[in-house]
Amino acid sequence: MFIQTEPTPNPDALKFVPGTPVLPEGASSMEYLDGRDTHNSPLARKLLGVDGVRGVFYGPDFITITKSEDANWAFLKPEVFSLITEVLNSGSSVVTEGTTQAEDTMAKEGDSDVVAMIKELLDTRIRPAIQEGTNLVDYFPTKGGEWDFWLTIPSIDGGDIEYRGFEDGHVLLKLRGACRTCDSSTVTLKNGIESMLMHYIEEVQGVTQIMDQEEEIAIREFEKFEEKLRKVKGSA
């Protein structure tokens, strides 16, 4: 098996493409950030056991590995290659049990027409572009009938989005995989996803990025670390 690697906008995340499906057809993406949550994926458990690996993300036909900032890809890549090759060559399923469908955008009883439209747009237009790493461009006619106005969702290859709700005109989304810690995530949300949702659905007034508690803590700690560095440089 020949596994290719592709860079992502996040230098600490690398996309591994084995040339064969990773998840069953029609399955949603899956992400693992803690070894205790890998009960349905022995491969994710092994990958998170590699020193320096912080996250494992499964896409339809790729695996994105996120490393710690001080880890070196030169040392990580051979071990990651070996683990992925071993599992896929054995014919074992990457995910052994549990649903792999995109539950966040599944139609639910009680969904309003607006929520249904949001979920459909996320599932059919936005999510595929994010997972495949392609710039999604839509052209719209002006009042004069000319096609000179466009919206684009910048590529955030190797990641995904998770719908968390619709409140007070704002769509709540969580970024996953490579885009979770990518510097361009805000640009992607505001200039791409938000613009497209607002264009198609007039009830949408904006998009808000949702973070889990551990992510918020990590960001605060990193900001404290940066502040210490600035003080050290200022006193030098």
Q: Predicted confidence band at 155 (pLDDT cuts at 50, 70, 90)?
A: very low
Judged against a pLDDT cut of 50, whether residue 235 lies above it is answered with yes
Instruction: Report how far residue 112's alpha carbon sits from residue 86's, in angstroms, rounded to the nearest whole number.
Output: 46
CA distances from 18 to 5, 45, 67, 89, 161 (A): 9, 19, 19, 10, 23
Tokens of 31: 């992400």
Signed CA dihedral, 107, 100, 38, 96: sign only: positive
Question: In Å, how far from its chain's centre is CA 14?
Answer: 12
Judged against a pLDDT cut of 50, whether residue 147 lies above it is answered with no
Instruction: Report how far residue 142's alpha carbon sits from residue 231's, in angstroms, rounded to the nearest whole number.
Output: 52
pTM for this prediction: 0.58
